[in-house]
Chains A and B, each alone.
Chain A
Amino acid sequence: MTARAQVAADQLQAPPADVAVSLRDVDLSYTQKLVLSDCSIDFKRGEVTTVIGLSGAGKSTILRLINGLRRPDRGHVFVNGLDIVSMPERRLNDLRARMGFAFQASALFDSLTVFDNVSFPLYEHTKLSRTEIRKRVDETLEAIGLSDVAERMPAELSGGMQKRVGFARAIVNEPEIILFDEPTTGLDPIMTHVITDTITQIQHRLRPTSIVVMHDMPSVYAISDNIAMLFEGTIIEAAPAAEFRRSRNPIVQQFLEGSEVGPIPL
Chain B
Amino acid sequence: MFRASTYLRTLPRPFPATRRFFEYAGGLTLLFFDAVRYIVTMRFRPSEVVKQTAFLIVESLPIVLLTSGFTGLVISLETAVSAVQNGFDFVIGGSVAYGTVRELGPLLTGIVFAGRSGAAITAQLGSMVVTEQIEALKSFGASPTKVLVVPRLLACLIGMPMLTTFSDIIAVYGGYYMAWLRAHVSYTTYWNSVNSFIDFIDFEKGLLKAAVFGALVALVACYEGLRTEGGADGVGRSTTHAVVTAIILVFAFNFALSFVLFQ
Mask: chain B, 109-130; 1 = CB below 8 Å from A; 0 = not: 0000000000000001001100
In the complex, are the beta carbons of B140 and A124 less than 8 A apart? yes
Tell me which of B70-78, B82-90, B131-139, B215-223 binds A: B131-139
In the complex, are the beta carbons of B139 and A69 less than 8 A apart? yes
CA distance A96 to B138 in the complex (A): 9
Q: Considering only CB atoms, which chain B residue lies closest to A74 in the complex?
A: B1
In the complex, are the beta carbons of B133 and A101 less than 8 A apart? no
CA distance A103 to B132 in the complex (A): 8
In the complex, which residues of chain B have a beta carbon less than 8 angstroms from the beta carbon of A179? 139
Interface of B is mostly: helix
Instruction: Verify if A150 is at the interface (C-beta below 8 Å from B).
Output: no
In the complex, are the beta carbons of B141 and A124 less than 8 A apart? yes
In the complex, are the beta carbons of B135 and A120 less than 8 A apart? no
Nearest Cβ distance between residue A225 and chain B, in whole angstroms? 23
Instruction: Verify if B25 is at the interface (C-beta below 8 Å from A).
Output: no
Query: Which residue in A69, A94, A124 is a CB contact (below 8 Å) of B135?
Result: A69
CA distance A95 to B140 in the complex (A): 9
Q: Considering only CB atoms, which chain A residue lies closest to B137 in the complex?
A: A109
Instruction: Verify if A121 is at the interface (C-beta below 8 Å from B).
Output: yes
Instruction: Verify if B30 is at the interface (C-beta below 8 Å from A).
Output: no
Mask: chain A, 213-248; 1 = CB below 8 Å from B; 0 = not: 000000000000000000000000000000000000
Mask: chain B, 129-163; 1 = CB below 8 Å from A; 0 = not: 00111011111111100000000000000000000
Instruction: Verify if A260 is at the interface (C-beta below 8 Å from B).
Output: no
CA distance A108 to B127 in the complex (A): 12
Interface residues of A toward B: which range? 20 to 34
CA distance A103 to B138 in the complex (A): 12
In the complex, which residues of chain B have a beta carbon less than 8 angstroms from the beta carbon of A125? 140-141
Instruction: Verify if A51 is at the interface (C-beta below 8 Å from B).
Output: no
Nearest Cβ distance between residue A156 and chain B, in whole angstroms? 16
In the complex, are the beta carbons of B138 and A69 less than 8 A apart? yes
Instruction: Verify if A107 is at the interface (C-beta below 8 Å from B).
Output: yes
In the complex, which residues of chain B have a beta carbon less than 8 angstroms from the beta carbon of A104? 132
Query: Which residue in B124, B137, B141, B142 is a CB contact (below 8 Å) of A94?
Result: B141
Q: Considering only CB atoms, which chain B residue lies closest to A122 in the complex?
A: B140
In the complex, which residues of chain B have a beta carbon less than 8 angstroms from the beta carbon of A108? 133, 136
In the complex, which residues of chain A have a beta carbon less than 8 angstroms from the beta carbon of B128? 109-110
Nearest Cβ distance between residue A48 and chain B, in whole angstroms? 19
Instruction: Verify if A105 is at the interface (C-beta below 8 Å from B).
Output: yes
Nearest Cβ distance between residue B152 and chain A, in whole angstroms? 12
Q: Considering only CB atoms, which chain B residue lies closest to A97 in the complex?
A: B141
Instruction: Verify if A201 is at the interface (C-beta below 8 Å from B).
Output: no
In the complex, are the beta carbons of B139 and A101 less than 8 A apart? yes
CA distance A120 to B146 in the complex (A): 13
In the complex, which residues of chain A have a beta carbon less than 8 angstroms from the beta carbon of B143? 93
In the complex, are the beta carbons of B135 and A107 less than 8 A apart? yes
In the complex, which residues of chain A have a beta carbon less than 8 angstroms from the beta carbon of B139? 67, 69, 96, 99, 101, 103, 179
Q: Which residues of B contact A (CB under 8 A)?
A: 124, 127-128, 131-133, 135-143
List 24 interface pairs A-B (beta carbons < 8 Å), by A numbering.
Answer: A64-B135, A69-B135, A69-B139, A93-B142, A94-B141, A96-B140, A99-B139, A103-B132, A103-B136, A105-B132, A107-B131, A107-B132, A107-B135, A108-B136, A109-B133, A109-B137, A110-B127, A110-B131, A111-B124, A120-B142, A121-B140, A124-B140, A124-B141, A179-B139
What are the nearest 3 A-B pairs in CB distance?
A: A93-B141, A96-B141, A107-B136
